[in-house]
Structure 1
Amino acid sequence: MARFRNIVVLTGAGLSAESGLSTFRDPDGIWSKYDYQDVATAEGFRRNPLLVHDFYNARRRAHRGLRPNAAHVALARLEAEHGGVMIVTQNIDALHEAAGSRSLIHMHGELLKVLCTFCSHRMVWRDDLRVDTACPFCGLPGGMRPDVVWFGEMPYEMGRISALLAAADLLVSIGTSGNVYPAAGFVAEAAANGAHTVELNLEPSEGASLFNEAHYGRATEIVPAFVGRILGDR
């Protein structure tokens, strides 16, 4: 395989599914059990903060028993052995970090962080969050929320991501549905700048026809195999 200098890896819920995390948009995914307008919008939080806190408290508790899978480990290896790799993840879990990845952008925020809406301070948070939890920094109660990007909010670090896509000569999209913007537009953006584009997924995404190359199957099988090709494994 050709030697690529600047690699951007976009990851979605399909990457973490084999670690035991539910996806969102599959028939039995999270949005089949909850109305996203109730638990993943600023309006829903204003209407019923207790429901939103209960939803994310349950997600944090479930996260404690999760471990990165072979796909996460392979991407951490790619970063360590290749260099010039940046992972842009739509996932809010911490499995990339647990596998050893450090060059990482959480464009949709992080489950294990919270944000104070009064003082704008972000902090690591692994315990339950209550409606009346006081911010450890400003001391005010009632302003703490999960540090995740809800529907209708702007994803984090979009300017930095655009710069990475402009410089990339390889974009690899892993475990994404291809129907959530702005991430769904990354393949076209990278291709317009001359990057080779690859889809690694369980099945073709909605944007599958936009990729130069595609491989389908379980993430724990196809991601390590693809990383091995880039690194020249025999």
Structure 2
Amino acid sequence: MDRSHVEHNERILNQFTLQAVPFARAISHSAEESLRLLLETAQVRASDEVLDLACGPGIVSCAFAAAARHVTGMDLVPAMIDQARVLQAEKGLSNLDWRLGDVTELPFPDGRFDLVVTRYSFHHLMDPGAVLREMARVCRPGGRVVVNDVTPEPEKGAAYDEMEVLRDPSHARALPLPELLALGSALGLTELGRAFYRLDTSVDALLGASFPSPGNADKLRALVQADVGVDRLSIQAYELNGELHFGFPCSVVAWRKPL
């Protein structure tokens, strides 16, 4: 593992150790409509063995566990796994287990899972193509690989990244949908379906659950304010009752691994 990867993982650990509790409690992350779209696009089945990568506080893992035979959630951040165990206990689910680990090197044999999924992680990855390759490796032939992440419009991606890194130093790059689809095609995966939604939030709520460097919160607020009615950032910013809002543009893409 090279030094840049180690340093980037340290940024993720620092940010998401701080964000673990507010991330788990954020209403938008548990929005029923976005989870429904993810489960439907993934075509989850009662017999499925599922791997949820970068599982965070277990929201996706628990949603899949309610429909599948068993789910393994894996994350780099111990504090996130702690929150996932709390959520599992609250929901009374027994068909889950949790692993600490780096998604770039999965400790599972080839073809171990029927369904491999990740949500809101690809924009943190330095090499998302390599991670998708690992996801496909541990998926059984005929199984499904699913990525759910922020996908700004191609011509607005650089501006979006400029905004997001102000809030979260562990942000790497958000892939526009055509680039995400190309990664799957390059691995020989067959697209099964896709869905799109906007994850709406207020700037105040977002910053209240984030830990930007000093001064960056004001810079982010100014960028979003300037984008109202412009949409240079691909977030469709607007004002409501004196509060600044916007929507993260999110896509779900499901592929089938060839037999």
The TM-score normalised by the length of structure 1 is 0.40
Compare relative contact order (CA 8 Å, sep 6+) and give the higher one, 1 or 2. Answer: 1
The TM-score normalised by the length of structure 2 is 0.37
Higher helix share: 2
Higher strand share: 2
